[in-house]
């Protein structure tokens, strides 16, 4: 699924301006626990999370994730955005809850990004 | 350099397919659309022509030129089917860009309808702008890859003449310094990729280092991460001087955690760290003395790409 489709399905906003719509996400992973992400999140995934600290970007970088979407309208902290720009990591914010975000993407056929 | 880029473009116009750069979901009209309605279609979408489609099949193309000619003739309103060009030059999605480009040049068209091979269904249009855009995008990707390649030192081991060679990097981690957390693991990751280590192996090393780095920050006064890279093996040693782990077996159990609340609020501290390090490594050794410090040694075999995380 392309990021522009993800954005549309989740009615999400792009946090900082990056031309990322054509990038492919292979799967989705939802978690508020960095420990869990580090244990089982597959490379190339879209991460759905409620965590907005800059550590999320570090984690996504280490795990080779494609993009991050913050759920429930949570705006990332300024240092999080700064780091994301530095690393070229696209960020989205959706007003949807975690449960509905996952449900929508899953029903559109986005695979499970965990092993 | 310029010569090389031109060769690259020559390759790309054959390598890239029409389907890679075309616009999908195109504006179209049906044969019974009235000429008087066509104006709005062309104006609103700022286009100079549009395909005419009947049940998914392309039956003609109607352009601004056809429209102007109809106005000039002063004829009565009619359906586009009466004024359209029936003999349409089109391209298939799986044809190389050069084919589309040649057709546009030869016939002086601004756009070409694109069809899916076999069923002949109209799937979009392609313009010169799409072709240029597609090439530039691809060249940019190529440029980025070249940039990575130029900083890569993957040949370094081949260049060293010795019976045994190793590269050593050290990272200092300050306890409690959350703002720089992940710097060591990120730095190691970049370095390993530049050395030509595969992404899978690099990821395992980076995850293990990241977990260890977090442990240093959360639980100790700081320490150092020493990585030694040899052609066949990556060794990561993490050392600190306190407080030490009282029961190593217990600490290795998934879910066991002594993390304070502030650590958990950050999304860490679920008690998976050491377990995860073990998973990412081919060999792991952990020794600790309470009050003195902890020493963790991780080994990852460079050839073992199938190893699990």
Residue range B114-125: average pLDDT? 85
Q: Report how many domains make up chain A.
A: 1
CA dist., res. B80 & res. B269, Å (int): 68
Residue extent(s) of CATH 3.30.565.10 domains in chain B: 156-301
- Give one DSSP letter per residue of B51-87, joined into a string: EEEETTEEEEEEEHHHHHHHHHHTPPP-BGGGTSB-S
**In this predicted model, what pLDDT tens digit does every residue of B86-96 receive, in sequence order?**
888 889 999 98
CATH number for the domain harbouring residue A105: 3.40.1390.20
Residue B304 has pLDDT above 90, yes or no: no
Find chain B residues with C-beta within 8 A of A61's C-beta.
182, 186, 189
Estimate to the nearest angstrom the gap between the alpha carbon of A106 and the chain centroid.
14
CATH number given to B2-137: 3.10.580.10
Q: What is the pLDDT of residue B108?
A: 81
CA dist., res. B52 & res. B59, Å (int): 6
Beta carbons within 8 Å of B209's beta carbon, 6+ residues apart: B184, B185, B188, B225, B227, B236
Residue B23 has pLDDT above 90, yes or no: no
Judge whether A55 lies within some domain.
yes
Q: What is the pLDDT of residue B202?
A: 93
Domain containing A21: what range?
3-110
CA dist., res. B289 & res. B242, Å (int): 8
Residue segments in chain A with a per-residue pLDDT below the cut of 50: none
Q: What is the pLDDT of residue B142?
A: 66
Q: Which residue of A has its CA nearest to B269?
A: A35
CB distance from B211 to chain A under 8 Å?
Answer: yes
Q: What is the pLDDT of residue A57?
A: 95
Query: Residues of A near B (CB-CB distance < 8 A)?
Result: 32-36, 38-39, 43, 51, 53, 55-56, 58-59, 61-64
The DSSP call for residue B152 is -
Q: What is the pLDDT of residue A10?
A: 97
In the sheet that B122-127 helps form, which strands lie side by side, from edge to edge? B23-24, B122-127, B111-115, B91-92
SS3 B147: helix
pLDDT confidence band for B49 (50 / 70 / 90): confident
CATH class of B156-301: alpha beta
**Cβ neighbourhood burial of B278 (10 Å; 0-12, 13-18, 19+):** middle
Judge whether A52 lies within some domain.
yes
pLDDT confidence band for B149 (50 / 70 / 90): low
Residue range B255-260: average pLDDT? 90
Task: Give the helix/strand (H/E) hosting A74.
Answer: none
Q: What is the pLDDT of residue A22?
A: 86
Judge whether A115 lies within some domain.
no
CA dist., res. B193 & res. B188, Å (int): 9
Residue extent(s) of CATH 3.10.580.10 domains in chain B: 2-137
**In this predicted model, what pLDDT tens digit does every residue of B274-287 receive, in sequence order?**
999 999 999 999 99
Task: Using DSSP bridges, classify how beta strands B233-240 and B222-229 pair: parallel, antiparallel or unpaired.
Answer: antiparallel
């Amino acid at each position: 699924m392309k990021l522009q489709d993800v954005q549309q399905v989740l009615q999400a906003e792009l946090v900082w301006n990056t031309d990322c719509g054509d990038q492919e996400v292979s799967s989705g992973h939802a978690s508020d626990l960095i420990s869990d992400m580090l244990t089982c999140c597959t490379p190339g995934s879209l991460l759905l999370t409620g965590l907005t600290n800059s550590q999320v970007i570090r984690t996504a970088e280490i795990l080779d994730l494609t993009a991050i979407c913050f759920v429930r309208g949570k705006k990332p902290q300024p240092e999080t955005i700064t780091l994301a720009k530095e690393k070229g990591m696209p960020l989205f914010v959706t007003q949807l809850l975690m449960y509905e975000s996952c449900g929508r993407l899953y029903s559109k056929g986005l695979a499970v990004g965990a092993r | 350099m310029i010569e090389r880029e031109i060769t690259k473009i020559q390759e790309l116009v054959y390598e890239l397919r029409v389907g890679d750069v075309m616009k999908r979901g195109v504006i179209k009209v049906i044969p019974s659309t009235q000429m008087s309605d066509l104006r709005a279609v062309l104006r609103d979408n700022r286009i100079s022509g549009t395909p005419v489609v009947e049940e998914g099949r392309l039956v003609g193309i109607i352009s601004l030129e056809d429209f102007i000619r109809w106005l000039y003739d002063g004829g009565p309103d009619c359906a586009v089917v009466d004024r359209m060009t029936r003999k349409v030059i089109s391209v298939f999605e799986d044809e190389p860009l050069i084919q589309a480009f040649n057709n546009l040049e030869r016939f002086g068209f601004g756009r070409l309808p694109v069809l899916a091979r076999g069923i002949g269904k109209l799937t979009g249009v392609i313009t010169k702008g799409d072709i240029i855009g597609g090439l530039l995008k691809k060249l940019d990707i190529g440029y980025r890859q070249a940039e990575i390649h130029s900083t890569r030192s993957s040949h370094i081991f081949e260049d060293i003449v010795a019976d045994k060679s190793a590269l050593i990097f050290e990272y200092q981690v300050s306890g409690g310094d959350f703002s720089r957390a992940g710097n060591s693991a990120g730095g190691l990751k970049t370095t390993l990729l530049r050395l030509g280590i595969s992404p899978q192996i690099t990821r395992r090393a980076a995850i293990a280092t990241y977990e260890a780095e977090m442990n240093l920050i959360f639980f100790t006064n700081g320490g150092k991460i020493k990585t030694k890279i040899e052609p066949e093996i990556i060794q990561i040693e993490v050392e600190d001087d306190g407080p030490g782990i009282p029961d190593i077996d217990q600490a290795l159990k998934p879910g066991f955690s002594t993390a304070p609340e502030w650590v958990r609020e950050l999304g860490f501290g679920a008690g998976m760290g050491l377990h995860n390090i073990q998973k990412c490594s081919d060999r792991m050794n952990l020794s600790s003395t309470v009050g003195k410090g902890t020493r963790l040694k991780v080994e990852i075999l460079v050839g073992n790409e199938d190893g699990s995380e």
